[in-house]
Amino acid sequence: MNCRRCGTPLRKPGDYCLTCNTANADAVVVEFAEDRARLTVLDEDAVVGETTVTTRPESDEQLTEIQLRNFAGRVADEIRRKRPDTVYAAGAREPLRETRAQVHHEFYRVPDASVGEEGDDSGGTRDPDASPVVSWVLDRRGDRALEVVETPPREKIGGSHSTLIGDRKGRKAVSTVAQHPHVKKIVPGPIDAGGTGSRTGLRAKATRAGTNGNVRLLLRDGSSVQENRIVTTAMDRETGERVREDLNEALREAELQDE
């Protein structure tokens, strides 16, 4: 494949051209297994390249921490050479989390429940040769992009109630949500001390989106419950659900929600 602007041959399809500083891809879809990752490179609605990164544990057990970090680093290197606007990822959680920590691109996890079966006939832009994950991404790339909020996370938190339950973990949950690029504001709610007791410490969950795309962050700690309003840039329930799924994934990664 050659650069679409200057014609310089690229080492791999979709690579960023260093000769004329031109991107030749705008998204990468990564499908993780425990010992391999398949990367599909997209330019608008076209698949321009694929590559697979593999690793093998020294035994039949899971990857060691060093092997996992190196595996994710190789995947991250493949992503960086494309310089995409967005990365979509699905599959095994551990290598996905480690890769997400190593790249600075806009990064979305494709919700497992939204990935259709191979024979899905729902229409859209599905490529019959594409995997369900790639097809899911292609079907939604035409959606109106959500506004990205540049406000620092700390400045997104406000309202008449300033107390959060769960002390440090409560603040961590709210901070995790505030870091999401499609969250405009978090408004802490009153604390209800009459809930059912929890034996697992503070748990956090983003609840179903409303018709305006906003969601709620539900915090439970012992018998205390707090419902916090999250104002997002989503424009309806469907896009709000996409934000909610991403928030819950971030809370799981922060170990504030059960798997």
Quick one: pLDDT at residue 113? 46
Quick one: pLDDT at residue 29? 96
Identify whether the C-beta of residue 125 lies closer than 8 Å to the C-beta of residue 67.
no
Confidence of residue 120 (pLDDT cuts 50, 70, 90): very low
**pTM score:** 0.69
Q: Which of 128, 94, 87 is nearest to 110 (CA)?
A: 87
Q: In this model, does residue 114 exceed pLDDT 90?
A: no
User: Of 88-97, 140-149, 208-217, where does the model show the most confidence?
Assistant: 208-217
27-140 has which fold?
A: Nucleotidyltransferase; domain 5 (3.30.420)
* 66-85 per-position pLDDT tens digit: 999 999 999 999 999 999 98
Quick one: pLDDT at residue 109? 80
Quick one: pLDDT at residue 61? 63
Quick one: pLDDT at residue 181? 84
Quick one: pLDDT at residue 104? 84
3 state SS of 209: coil
Identify whether the C-beta of residue 257 lies closer than 8 Å to the C-beta of residue 169.
no
| Cβ neighbours of residue 110 closer than 8 Å, sequence gap 6 or more | 29, 88, 89, 90, 133, 136, 137
How many CA atoms, within 13 angstroms, populate the side-chain half-sphere of residue 69?
3
Confidence of residue 143 (pLDDT cuts 50, 70, 90): low
Report the C-alpha gap between 135 and 115 in whole angstroms. 8
Quick one: pLDDT at residue 111? 65
Report the C-alpha gap between 168 and 170 in whole angstroms. 5
Confidence of residue 136 (pLDDT cuts 50, 70, 90): confident
Supply the DSSP symbol for 188.
Answer: -
Quick one: pLDDT at residue 119? 38
Average pLDDT over residues 149-160: 86
Q: In this model, does residue 59 exceed pLDDT 80?
A: no
Tokens of 35: 């010992």
Percent of the chain with pLDDT over 90: 54
Identify whether the C-beta of residue 209 lies closer than 8 Å to the C-beta of residue 241.
yes
Range from 28-37, 71-80, 122-131, 195-204 carrying the lowest mean pLDDT: 122-131
Tokens of 165: 């339950």
Average pLDDT over residues 229-249: 91
Quick one: pLDDT at residue 157? 92
- 19 bridge partner residues: none
Quick one: pLDDT at residue 82? 97
Domain residue spans of the chain: 27-140, 153-253
Confidence of residue 193 (pLDDT cuts 50, 70, 90): confident
Quick one: pLDDT at residue 199? 61
The residue type of 60 is D
Report the C-alpha gap between 173 and 166 in whole angstroms. 9
Average pLDDT, the chain: 86
